[in-house]
Structure formats: C-alpha cells, structure tokens
C-alpha cells in the first residue's frame, strides 16, 4: 500500500536487458526496423511520392540556419521528428542498426543547432511566430513538442550512452523551469496537450535532478485551477485563436482542465490527453509518494476501464474531439477508438502497475496491446488505422457523414501522422512492458518469448521465456543465475483464465494458495536450470457487455486468450448482420487451415437468415426469411482488413 514515505518502489527492467524472440512480436519489431522507420524517415524528408509534404526535417534545417525557407506544417510538426528518434533509440537498445544510428546522430546534431542559446527549442515559434513564445499554450502544443523531444533524448541516452540529445533536452527543460513555476514572476500555466508531465518524469529518472520532478508536479497541480489559465493567456494576447472554430479555450473538459486533477473522477475529453495525463500523474505519485495523486489515478483509471473501455482495449468513442462521451456509451460502428489512445492507455496501465502490481492493470494493458494497438498496423507494416471501429460496412463509410472518420482499410502513413510513429515507438519498446521488479520479486505481466537479464541485489538473474502465446497458453521459464538466488517469481493469471497450472522442476504447485493480486508467487532459492511450466487454460469464451451498454445488448463477442475475435466478409460473405450465434453453438479451433498466415481462427456452428424470398418491398408485415445452418469463421480482430475491403463485426447477435 502506498503511503507517504513508505513506498516500496517497483523498477523496470531496462530495455537493453530484454531480448524478444517471439512467434508473434518478433516479426512486428522487424517490420518497425525494416519498413516503418525507414519509410517514416522518407516521409519526414518529403521523399514519398504523392504524399503531402511533412517538411519536419526542413523546418529544423531552416531553424538551424542550414537552409533558407519558411516553416511549413502543423504547430506540432517537431514532435514527428522526436517520435521517430525515440523509436530508433528503442530499436538501438537491442539491435545493431548502424545505418539508423548514423542518421539519428546527424538529426541530433541538427536539432542541437536549431536550439536557441537560452535552451528554447521549437521550430514553429522560431520561424513563424518569433517573439510569441509561451503565449498560447492551450492550443499550440509548445510543451507537448518539448515533452516528445525529452522522451527521445532520454531513450537515446539509455540505449546508446550518447549524451548529446540528453544535454539538449536538459537545457530545454532548464529553460522551461526558468519560465514556469510557483515563484513570483514565472508563468503559472500548463500545456493544452499533456505530455511534458510524463516526459519530465523520465528526465528526472535519467538525471536524478529533482527540479524536473517538481516541474512535472507543478504542471499537474496547476491544471484546472481558477482563475483559469486558458482565459488569462487568451486575454493577454487579445483573445486571438490558432485554430479556426477552436473550442479548446472554452471547453475546459476537452483537455481535462475543468478542475484540479486531484479532484477529477471520470474519463473525460480528448482520450489521448487523458491517458497521457494519467501516466504523468501515476509516475509523480510513485516518485513523490503523493497519496492524493495516487487516489486520483485509481479513480480515473477505474472509471475509464469499468465504464468507457471497448472490449478491444480502445477508448474515446466519439470522433468530435477524439473524445470520451459518457459512461456506457460505446457504439461499435461510429467508434473513434484512436490507436494512439490505446497506446497511451498502455502507458497509463504500466505506470499503475509500477505503483501497485495488480493484474487488473496488466489485463487492460494486454487487452489494448493484443487487439487495438497491433491491429493498428497492417501485416506488411505499410498501412495504419487511426480509427478502430468494432463494426464496419464499407458502403456507408463514404455515404453517411457520421462514418466519415471510419476507414475500412488501413491508410498509408502520410494520411495520419500521429498514430504510425506511436505504434513504432511502442513496438520497439515492447520489451520494457513484460517485467517489473519490486524488491526481490520479479513480476511477469506479459507472456512474450525471449530473455531478460534482471539484477537482484547485485546478482545476475536470467529468465528465459518460451511460448506460443497467444495461440496457446503454455509458457516455460528457465532460470539462469551465477549463484543460488532467493527470489519470488510472480506470474500473472489473466482475467480471462479460469484455470492455471504451474509446475516447478516437474512438481505441481498449489496455484490457489500462491495467488495474490492476480499473480502466482513462487518463492525459493533458484539455481541455474530451474524450470517453471505454466499452463493457462485458453478456452473459447463468450463475452457479454454490461446491461447498460446499448450497443452490445442481445449480442455476444468471442474471445480466446487475450484475443478478441471478429467476423469478416472474406470468410463469411456480405451482410454479416444476418449471422446469428446460437447459445449452444459449437466452437472449434482452426489450427491447421489458418485463413491468415500463422493465425488460429475459430469455427462456429451458426445460423444465417436466408432472405432470398423477401422480394423488393422495403417493409413487410411478416418476416420473410428462413434460418439456415452455416459455419461461421472468426479471425483475431487485430488481423482484420488484410484481405481487401469488406464488412467486419465483433459483436454478433445471439440466437
């Protein structure tokens, strides 16, 4: 339990100490290295034909005095370069990629040249609105861009040991610290888009400089105070706005600035901002031992996942404002469910796990990762979903404006600049989400094959994980250690699993007695060669929505392990709304004949309405159809839309 001054800290296993060798994830991380990062580099340099220019690198070149020209792009264009660098940094933690490292080093030189002597760094304000720094934080993402650059600087330092970008971002953070703060004469404000808070916490951990922790806490605690900062700064600049039809200044809820963060109690506003804020709050709570902040985190997280979370681990159900709406409002076909929001949800869940290792947080993390996040990228790494609906009919997407944000196909990179680099940095850093350590307890949150080297009081403790998860629930751990080591292995029992068995060196252990907070705890003196075999039963589960979710009433979804399944037109024909799943439907795993490479599909005995005799009438006084027995095929949700354009459906009518 977290109390002031009495906090058992969790620590992460550094990314360069985790090697992923996994049947599912290795290929995705390969794609990030071979396809996604090189493609994005070309995009940042305007070398993609027919794509609107990014101009992001040119902006830095112009700001650095290397080229002539004008700023082009969004006010937050710099963050694309920062996110790219951060993804490269994570890759370099475990992979040799000298060509990428060389480009990254040159980019860092360029960024350093674009930095002002006083530490300020932002090409938009340098080139386009000089003299107007820090005058429109509500709308203009100045601290947001700084936050992304800080994250990149910290990541690059950890993985390469090179300090240049870290020094740049320390200078930038010092400058921000000289402008903002509680002291007289400093600005009492915060960014409209949370990000600086979580970034400063990373910088604090990397440098040990407590000023960064205090600054992060200041930004969080300043948020939502009265008189309102957005109005104060708007009045100062004569109420000019950056965005046409801007509602950001007036709708304080949109950026979670409607009341102080410690008083907030529900998921509200722009979903990405909300989860980035929660990530920063949880990190501050852990490091500062701030119990009130911790209680607020728990409240916000609980409201989000118990009232506002899609079964696919997506959040933010409306397109206007990319935002939460109200409890239990989770429409399937008009869902916004941005990929970035699920990535931010993973950040938030992970920070909650660091505060309090309870499997409920890892369950949410896993749900987002295995469904929405990995589904955000195509199997060739070239196309991306920004919006992740749970039901699609391609014909209406263009015809009806309420579906205009929904795309039945993943879009090329340049169509949506924020999600692809976020997917890239999440996948490249996946290794850091698998384990956390608290004292001598090693928590395994995710079942992903590979090897981790963990420091237990100065002893090197190696944990090798072998598994075909999520296709089956068998996981083997093999221990390697220089000398016998006393430690506890805590293995997560996922929420979807009713029966787990664990053997240590072939001897069955009593799971029930060993389970707390959703983890089986195995405590002993471990020696090299010790083996733990964990089997999680992985039946095909029917899942039902809460009675207050109107959009799932009378419907059922299919889940196996962490994977939510869906129907797709490619397997089941058009008009998926005519497929019904009887209560006694029989399921079987399609292990050998897999419709999409490597993926286990599920067959079900289903019913289909045969409407051949309906005729032309739009309405009739009797239902003119018969029910036919058919076999339905379900595929993992994340794999949909890899076989051409067609219908898709997660929630199916139950007969």
* Contact residues for Zn ion, defined by CB under 5 A: 340, 418-419
Pairing of strands 391-392, 555-560: unpaired
Least distance from Zn ion to the Cβ atom of residue 417, Å: 8
* In the complex, least distance from residue 369 CB atom to Zn ion, rounded to whole angstroms: 16
Quick one: how far is CA 21 from the chain centroid? 21
Q: How far is the CB of 388 from Zn ion (least distance, A)?
A: 10
CB atoms within 10 A of CB 26: 15
Q: Give catalytic status of residue 418 as yes or no.
A: yes
Residue 423 CB, nearest approach to Zn ion (Å): 9
Q: In terms of CB distance, is 168 or 418 closer to Zn ion?
A: 418
Helix orientation angle between 142-160 and 196-207, rounded to the nearest 10 degrees? 30
Q: How far apart are CA 388 and CA 25, in angstroms?
A: 20
Please give the DSSP secondary-structure letter assigned to residue 599: -
379 three-state secondary structure: coil
Contact call for residues 525 and 531 (beta carbons, < 8 A): no
If the CB atoms of residues 150 and 419 are measured against Zn ion, the closer one turns out to be: 419
> Could you say which of 418, 419, 497, 566 is catalytic?
418
List Cβ neighbours of 578 (8 Å cut-off, separation of 6 or more).
608, 609, 611
Q: How far is the CB of 386 from Zn ion (least distance, A)?
A: 6
Q: Catalytic site residue 497?
A: no
How many angstroms separate the CA atoms of 190 and 193, rounded? 9
Helix crossing, 196-207 with 210-222: angle to 10°? 160
How many whole angstroms separate alpha carbon 128 and alpha carbon 125?
A: 5
Q: Are 551 and 625 in contact (CB under 8 A)?
A: no
Identify the active-site residue in 33, 101, 233, 322: 322
CB of 573 to Zn ion, least distance (A): 33
Q: Least distance to Zn ion from the beta carbon of 167, Å?
A: 30
Q: Number of C-alpha atoms within 13 angstroms, CB side, residue 592? A: 0
Residues 425, 34: Cα–Cα separation, whole Å: 14
Going by C-alpha positions, the residue among 166, 314, 192 that lies closest to residue 253 is 192
Two tokens at 83? 């996110």
Identify whether the C-beta of residue 203 lies closer than 8 Å to the C-beta of residue 215.
no
Q: Pull the structure tokens for residue 283.
A: 């990190």
> How many CB atoms are located within 10 Å of the residue 598 CB?
11
What is the closest distance, in whole angstroms, from the C-beta atom of residue 422 to Zn ion in the complex?
Answer: 6
Question: Closest CB to Zn ion among 168 and 340?
Answer: 340
Query: What is the C-alpha separation between 609 and 246, in angstroms, rounded?
Result: 48
For 180-205, the DSSP string reads BSSSTTSB----SS--HHHHHHHHHH
Element of type H or E holding 39: helix 37-44
Q: Which is nearer to Zn ion, 43 or 340 (CB)?
A: 340
Nearer to Zn ion, 194 or 481 (CB): 194
Residue nearest to Zn ion (CB): 340
Q: Which is nearer to Zn ion, 418 or 491 (CB)?
A: 418
Residues 6 or more apart from 299 whose CB is under 8 A from it? 264, 265
Which is closer to Zn ion, CB of 376 or CB of 470? 376
Nearer to Zn ion, 340 or 504 (CB): 340
For residue 383, list its beta bridge partners. 412
Please say which residue, 340 or 502, places its beta carbon nearer to Zn ion: 340
Q: CA-to-CA distance for 426 and 407, rounded, in angstroms?
A: 23
Shortest distance (Å) from residue 605 CB to Zn ion: 39
- Show which residues are catalytic: 322, 418
């Amino acid at each position: 339990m977290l109390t002031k001054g009495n906090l058992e800290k969790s620590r992460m296993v550094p990314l360069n100490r985790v090697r992923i060798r996994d049947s599912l994830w290795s290929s995705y991380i390969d794609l990030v290295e071979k396809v996604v990062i090189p493609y994005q580099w070309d995009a940042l340099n305007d070398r993609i034909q027919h794509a609107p220019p990014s101009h992001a690198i040119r902006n830095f070149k112009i700001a650095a005095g290397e080229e002539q020209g004008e700023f082009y792009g969004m006010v937050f264009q710099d963050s694309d370069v920062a996110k790219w660098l951060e993804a490269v940094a994570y890759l370099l933690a475990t992979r040799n990629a000298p060509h990428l490292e060389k480009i990254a080093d040159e980019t860092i030189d360029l960024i350093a040249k674009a930095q002002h002597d006083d530490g300020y760094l932002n090409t938009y304000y340098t080139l386009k609105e000089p003299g107007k720094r820090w005058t429109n934080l509500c709308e203009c993402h100045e601290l947001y861009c700084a936050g992304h650059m800080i994250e990149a600087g910290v990541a690059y330092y950890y993985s390469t040991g090179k300090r240049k970008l870290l020094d740049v971002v320390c200078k930038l953070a010092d400058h921000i610290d000289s402008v903002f703060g509680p002291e007289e004469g400093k600005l009492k404000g915060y960014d409209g888009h949370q990000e600086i808070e979580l970034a400063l916490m990373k910088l604090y951990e990397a440098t040990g400089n407590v000023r960064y922790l205090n600054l992060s806490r200041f930004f969080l605690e300043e948020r939502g105070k009265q008189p309102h900062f957005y109005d104060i700064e708007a009045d100062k600049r004569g109420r000019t706005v950056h965005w046409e039809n801007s509602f950001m200044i007036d709708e304080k809820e949109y950026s979670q600035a409607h009341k102080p963060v410690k008083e907030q109690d529900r998921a509200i506003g722009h979903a990405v901002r909300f989860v980035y804020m929660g990530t920063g709050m949880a990190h501050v709570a852990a490091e500062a031992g701030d119990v009130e902040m911790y209680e607020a985190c728990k409240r916000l997280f609980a409201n989000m996942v118990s009232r506002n979370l899609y079964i696919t681990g997506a959040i933010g159900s409306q397109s206007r404002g990319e935002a939460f709406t109200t409890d239990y409002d989770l429409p399937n076909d008009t869902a916004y469910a941005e990929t970035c929001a699920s990535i931010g949800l993973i950040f938030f869940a992970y920070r909650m796990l660091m505060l309090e290792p309870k499997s409920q947080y890892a369950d949410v993390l896993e749900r987002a990762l295995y469904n929405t996040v990995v589904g955000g990228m195509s199997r060739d790494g070239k196309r991306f979903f920004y919006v992740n609906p749970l039901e699609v009919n391609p014909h209406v997407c263009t015809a009806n404006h309420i579906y205009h944000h929904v795309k039945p196909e993943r879009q090329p990179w340049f169509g949506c600049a924020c999600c692809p680099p976020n997917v890239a940095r999440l996948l490249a850093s996946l290794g850091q989400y698998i384990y956390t350590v608290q004292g001598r307890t090693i928590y395994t949150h995710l079942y992903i094959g590979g090897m981790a080297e963990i420091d237990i009081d100065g002893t090197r403790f190696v944990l090798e994980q072998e598994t075909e998860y999520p296709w089956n629930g068998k996981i083997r751990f093999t221990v390697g250690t220089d000398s016998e080591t006393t430690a506890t292995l805590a293995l997560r029992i996922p929420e979807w699993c009713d029966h787990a068995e664990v053997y240590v060196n072939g001897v069955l252990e009593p799971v029930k007695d060993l389970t707390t907070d959703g983890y089986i705890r195995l405590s002993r003196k471990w020696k090299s060669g010790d083996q733990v075999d964990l089997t999680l039963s992985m039946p095909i589960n029917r899942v039902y929505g809460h009675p207050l979710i109107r959009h799932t009433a009378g419907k059922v979804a299919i889940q196996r392990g962490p994977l939510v399944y869906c129907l797709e037109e490619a397997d089941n024909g058009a008009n998926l709304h005519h497929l019904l799943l009887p209560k006694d439907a029989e399921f079987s795993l399609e292990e050998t004949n897999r419709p999409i490479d490597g993926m286990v599909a599920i067959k079900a005995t289903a019913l289909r309405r045969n409407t051949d005799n309906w005729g032309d009438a739009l309405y009739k006084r009797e239902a003119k159809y018969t029910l036919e027995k058919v076999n339905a095929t379900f595929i993992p949700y994340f794999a949909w839309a890899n076989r051409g354009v067609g219908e898709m459906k997660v929630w199916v009518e139950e007969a």
